[in-house]
Chain A
Amino acid sequence: MHEMSLVRSLIRQVDLIAAENGGGSVREVSVEIGPLSGVESELVQSAFDQVIAESHESPMTLTIRETPLVVHCLQCEDDCEIDNFIFRCLRCGSGHVRVIRGDEFRIASITLDERVTHA
């Protein structure tokens, strides 16, 4: 189970991005997780909740979007979505395919609480 270490890395990166963008506390993190990412969404969610509850100053929430597995066929140049881990082009049947989506664990966006300076 390596979700915990990846989630710690995720939170470090989010804090860094927030700091680079002028600070403010992070309200929400949106991530995308593909079927070939090597992580399980539910385990990521519970690891995230645990780390935030235990150690993080601001109570940020995590939104996970599960992305499809998409391959590009090097034979017929078509892209298709596969859902059974059978790496074959759905159009021509070739196994000469490259994964173009679905192996990611990606930070899509973060939402910051804007610090407002009142005059």
Chain B
Amino acid sequence: MPERTIVINRDIQSERRAAAEHRRQEFTRQKTFVVNLVSSPGAGKTTLLEATCRYWKDRWKIAVLVGDLATQRDADRLRPFVPVQQLTTGGACHLELSLVEKGLAKLPQEHFDFLFIENVGNLVCPASHDLAEHLRVVLLSTTEGDDKPGKYPKMFRTSEVMVITKMDLLPHVPFDVDRATVDSHLIRDSMEVITVCSLHDEGIHNWCQMLERRREQLFSEVDVPCST
């Protein structure tokens, strides 16, 4: 049978990427700064969000979407502080934009200054899924080892900030903050590194300042009128 070869050269994610880009622009117009938190399971994403809410209190309007395979546990922890929706993936190892949209529809329809999306604990698959965030933050806890950036290059390459968590455990574990920092800089030269102990509200000031600074940068850029 005769055959015909058609050249395509199209990324299979190109439509999804375009949709995420479109959504990101919408968030920007609404002046909602969207942060996607990624890490291995238990690195301290929810605890960091609890500390963030404690620190800011009513300073900013915050909403949280939190992804897990099952249960409402993380949403229950954050509900005393802010509007929150649990996204249960039913087994999937990462969040996708469609799930985020569903969660957003269930949040109060009001303006938020910050939207935090806590991804499913996993250092692999969430790296490939753009959730229309402005900032991707990867958490690395001191109990995981300082060699992780190089072992999960895509996750660390696609993140702009690395938060080293559980700093209170440093005396008990062989974790070298400098080594983790250097390793992350081989993957991403411009990685901003922040150290925290969310349990005792340490480093949260720096973390929150970084978020405010980046939000301001983004929106002042947006405010600049187009020069003709």
Give the interface residue-count category, chain A. 35 or more
Instruction: Report whether A114 and B1 are in contact in the complex, using a CB–CB cutoff of 8 Å.
Output: yes
For chain B, what secondary structure do more than half of its interface residues adopt (helix, strand, loop), or is it mixed? Answer: mixed
Instruction: Report whether A107 and B125 are in contact in the complex, using a CB–CB cutoff of 8 Å.
Output: no
Instruction: Report whether A97 and B3 are in contact in the complex, using a CB–CB cutoff of 8 Å.
Output: no
Instruction: Report whether A85 and B187 are in contact in the complex, using a CB–CB cutoff of 8 Å.
Output: yes
Complex Cα gap A107–B1 (Å): 23
Instruction: Report whether A95 and B3 are in contact in the complex, using a CB–CB cutoff of 8 Å.
Output: no
Q: For the complex, is A104 an interface residue (Cβ under 8 Å from B)?
A: yes
Instruction: Report whether B8 and A107 are in contact in the complex, using a CB–CB cutoff of 8 Å.
Output: yes
The one of A38, A94, A97 that contacts B124, using a Cβ cutoff of 8 Å: A38
Q: For the complex, is A47 an interface residue (Cβ under 8 Å from B)?
A: no
Residues in A neighbouring B125, C-beta threshold 8 A? 1-2, 38
Q: For the complex, is B161 an interface residue (Cβ under 8 Å from A)?
A: no
Q: For the complex, is B166 an interface residue (Cβ under 8 Å from A)?
A: no
The one of A39, A94, A106 that contacts B128, using a Cβ cutoff of 8 Å: A39
Q: For the complex, is B224 an interface residue (Cβ under 8 Å from A)?
A: no
Residues in A neighbouring B188, C-beta threshold 8 A? 87, 95
Q: For the complex, is A113 an interface residue (Cβ under 8 Å from B)?
A: yes
Complex Cα gap A101–B6 (Å): 22
- Which chain A residue shows the least CB distance to B1? A113
Instruction: Report whether A13 and B189 are in contact in the complex, using a CB–CB cutoff of 8 Å.
Output: no
Instruction: Report how many residues on chain B are interfacial, defined by Cβ distance under 8 Å.
Output: 30
Residues in A neighbouring B157, C-beta threshold 8 A? 36, 85, 87, 99
Residues in B neighbouring A62, C-beta threshold 8 A? none
Instruction: Report whether A116 and B9 are in contact in the complex, using a CB–CB cutoff of 8 Å.
Output: no
The one of B4, B11, B186 that contacts A88, using a Cβ cutoff of 8 Å: B186
Instruction: Report whether B187 and A109 are in contact in the complex, using a CB–CB cutoff of 8 Å.
Output: no
Complex Cα gap A8–B94 (Å): 17
Q: List 18 A-B contacts (CB under 8 A).
A: A1-B93, A2-B125, A9-B12, A36-B157, A37-B128, A85-B150, A88-B189, A105-B12, A105-B13, A106-B9, A106-B12, A107-B8, A107-B11, A108-B8, A109-B7, A111-B3, A112-B3, A113-B3
Residues of B within 8 A of A (CB): 1-13, 92-94, 124-125, 127-128, 150, 153-154, 157, 185-190
Residues of A within 8 A of B (CB): 1-2, 5-6, 9-10, 13, 17, 21, 24, 27, 31, 36-39, 85-88, 94-97, 99, 104-114, 116
Per CB-CB distance, the 3 closest pairs between chain A and chain B, nearest first, are A95-B189, A38-B128, A85-B153
4 new A-B contacts at CB < 8 Å, known A2-B125, A86-B186, A95-B190: A2-B128, A6-B13, A107-B10, A111-B6
